[in-house]
């Protein structure tokens, strides 16, 4: 080790994204750390640095270029990056995550510039413990892991899927104050069946078809064991796994280690929030709704089960709650009368109803009060679909949740226009306010970012032993409580994302309370949970690296 490295001075300090602060280093710091002459004379405030980078980001012509410019900030100065994001969260969240992260993942091998996170490949089978030992982080509180097989609505992106855990963990920090030095993005590179990537000379991943099932699950088991051995309290978030694997992994590990699947459970939590808000507008009970999903994958069934949990909490039976929920998949309405073999996750919703071969026919037959799009089928909530919903309901619930934007079932403008302004609308990607009939509607995303960072923070703070479904319902109820009457009047079923840090304190405290009340916490309960959680949140203005 060189003398410079021991003291972390000079260029070693300037090039360290955790310690270097560029022109914000004071004159005293410059003298003490060998920086004199290595920086221009100006000593800047963090506000000045933020202003410069905002100008540079704004000058970029495309969202992807803005994404790359933000990533450049992060490579130089982590604390400054998060200060930028925290202060401009509504503007930058669509760049860090959906919809821009979809394009970033598709092009990840071509925009790859510097290593971040951990890659575990099929070739590492039998040696994952040694690979995990190479991670420099002494402590890790949370891991977001993907295998890249089902990235957003874009399919198998292989190792290019690493953009997802990187983006998710950035939101953990920006939204809920999870310490970025204690967060680890992981990609399980089990190969890819994407022929375009396998033929791409710049593809960064393993050049082979995906592993067989037995070898795949063995590799995942080795990974879970290795990270739990090194960091016994680590929280694991499974992200963007193919449906069969997503359910299998959640079933395998949910009662063994603190873990959750954001596509199944996090999405469900934020969508249930939207339903709670819609019930305030309609002045009705959730258990009185008939809900039809377009799509029957992990997101759909995850949302459906949590909706059923919420109905049961209102006092209805589980059987009746499940009977209020219907799925429509690529072969039509999921019905007990279908002759094809249904996947296990669809069976609880295979009711004794007539088969319907079009979504429009399903609506005519069921007359639902709500439709939820998780299909990645753009424009499927067309004028006929939304028009029928408005005919059957004074305030039809229309949730077009697929992302990125190109996959949305309808736009906000279409939902309001086709329903003549009566729809209660939520979306998976951002849309601008809509003017109709002299009123301005402010649609807001049913964005997982409202809940998963705070759920993670609450579980990390309490060192939760597991993450049961009740945690996600607790988060949904708390978020719904934070939606104001003014929000509802403007057509917003969620509060402004600009308030995400304060919202996260409330939600994380509610999650922590659930953990204490259900004997999941491994720490002593503080006198005031909200204060304790707020104090535990990492702040980029006082990074304490």
Average pLDDT over residues 17-23: 94
Residues marked as catalytic: 97, 168
Which pLDDT value is given to residue 544? 56
Looking at the predicted structure, is the pLDDT value of residue 6 above 90? no
Percent of the chain with pLDDT over 70: 98
Largest CA distance in the chain: 79
How many Cα neighbours within 13 Å face the side chain of 99? Answer: 17
Give the pLDDT band (50/70/90) at residue 447. confident
Q: What is the DSSP letter of 153?
A: T
Average pLDDT over residues 209-222: 98
Exposed e or buried b per residue across 436-464, where buried means at least 16 C-beta atoms within 10 angstroms of its C-beta: eeeeebbbbbbbbbbbbbbbbbbbbbbbb
CA dist., res. 398 & res. 341, Å (int): 29
Looking at the predicted structure, is the pLDDT value of residue 545 above 50? no
507-539 confidence digits (pLDDT tens): 999 999 999 999 999 999 999 999 999 999 999
Which pLDDT value is given to residue 25? 96
Which pLDDT value is given to residue 211? 97
Average pLDDT over residues 474-496: 97
Which pLDDT value is given to residue 5? 44
347-370 confidence digits (pLDDT tens): 999 999 999 999 999 999 999 999
Which pLDDT value is given to residue 541? 84
Which pLDDT value is given to residue 153? 78
The torsion defined by the Cα of 226, 512, 168 and 502, in degrees rounded to 10, comes to -150
Q: What H or E segment, with its residue span, contains residue 32?
A: helix 27-32
Domains and CATH numbers, the chain: 1-44 (1.20.1370.30), 100-257 (3.40.50.10380), 269-445 (3.40.50.720), 450-536 (3.40.50.10380)
Residues 6 or more apart whose CB falls under 8 angstroms from that of 527 comprise none
Which pLDDT value is given to residue 212? 97
Which pLDDT value is given to residue 298? 85
Asked if residues 494 and 445 have their Cβ atoms less than 8 Å apart, the reply is yes
239-295 confidence digits (pLDDT tens): 999 989 999 999 999 999 999 999 899 999 999 999 999 999 999 999 999 999 999
Percent of the chain with pLDDT over 90: 91
68-82 confidence digits (pLDDT tens): 999 999 999 999 999
392-406 confidence digits (pLDDT tens): 999 999 999 997 788
Query: Average model confidence (pLDDT) for the chain?
Result: 95
Average pLDDT over residues 110-139: 97
pTM for the complete prediction? Answer: 0.92
Distances (CA, A) of 394 to 390, 419, 526: 6, 10, 46
């Amino acid at each position: 080790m060189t003398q410079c490295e021991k003291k972390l001075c000079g260029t070693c300090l300037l090039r360290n994204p955790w310690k270097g602060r560029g022109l914000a280093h004071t004159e005293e710091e410059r003298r003490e750390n060998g920086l004199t002459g290595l920086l221009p004379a100006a000593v800047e405030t963090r506000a000045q640095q933020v202003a410069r980078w905002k100008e540079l980001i704004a000058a970029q012509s495309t969202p992807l270029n803005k994404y790359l410019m933000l990533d450049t900030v992060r490579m130089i100065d982590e604390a400054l990056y998060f200060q930028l994001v925290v202060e401009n969260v509504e503007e930058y969240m669509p760049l860090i995550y959906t919809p821009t992260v979809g394009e970033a993942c598709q092009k990840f091998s071509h925009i790859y510039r510097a290593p971040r996170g951990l890659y575990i490949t099929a070739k590492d089978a039998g040696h994952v413990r040694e690979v995990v030992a190479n991670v420099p982080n002494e402590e890790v509180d949370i891991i977001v892991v993907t295998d890249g097989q089902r990235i957003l609505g874009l399919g198998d992106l292989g190792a290019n899927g690493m953009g997802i855990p990187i983006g998710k963990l950035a939101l953990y920090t920006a939204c809920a104050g999870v310490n970025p030095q204690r967060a680890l993005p992981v990609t399980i590179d089990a190969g890819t069946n994407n022929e375009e990537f396998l033929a791409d000379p710049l593809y960064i991943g393993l050049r082979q078809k995906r592993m067989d099932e037995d070898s795949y699950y063995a590799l995942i088991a080795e990974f879970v064991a290795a990270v739990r051995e090194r960091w016994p309290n680590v929280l694991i978030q499974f992200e963007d796994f193919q449906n069969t694997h997503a359910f299998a992994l959640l079933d395998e590990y949910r009662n063994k280690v603190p873990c959750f699947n954001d596509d199944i459970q996090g999405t469900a939590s934020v969508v249930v929030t939207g339903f709670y808000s819609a019930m305030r507008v309609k002045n009705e009970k959730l258990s009185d709704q008939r809900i039809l999903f377009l799509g029957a994958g992990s997101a759909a069934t995850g949302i459906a089960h949590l909706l059923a949990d919420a109905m049961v909490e209102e006092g209805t039976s589980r059987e009746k709650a499940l009977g209020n929920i219907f799925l429509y998949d690529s072969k039509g309405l999921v019905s007990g009368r279908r002759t094809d073999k249904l996947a296990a996750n669809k069976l609880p919703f295979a009711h004794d109803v007539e088969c319907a071969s079009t979504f429009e026919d399903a609506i005519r037959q069921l007359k639902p009060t709500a439709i939820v799009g998780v299909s990645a089928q753009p424009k499927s909530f067309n004028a006929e679909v939304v028009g029928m919903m408005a005919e059957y309901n004074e305030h039809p619930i229309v949730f077009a949740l697929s992302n990125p934007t190109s996959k949305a079932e309808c736009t906000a403008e279409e939902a309001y226009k086709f329903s003549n302004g009566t729809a209660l609308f939520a979306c998976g990607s951002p849309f601008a306010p809509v003017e109709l009939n002299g009123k301005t509607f402010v649609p807001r995303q049913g964005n997982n970012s409202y809940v998963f960072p705070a759920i993670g923070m609450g579980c990390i703070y309490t060192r939760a032993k597991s993450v049961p479904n009740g945690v996600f319902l607790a988060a949904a109820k708390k978020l719904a409580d934070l939606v104001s009457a003014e929000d509802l009047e403007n057509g917003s079923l969620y509060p402004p994302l600009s308030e995400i840090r304060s919202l996260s304190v409330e939600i994380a405290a509610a999650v922590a309370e659930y953990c204490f009340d259900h004997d999941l916490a491994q720490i002593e309960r503080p006198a005031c949970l909200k204060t304790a959680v707020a104090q535990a949140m990492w702040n980029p203005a006082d990074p304490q690296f």
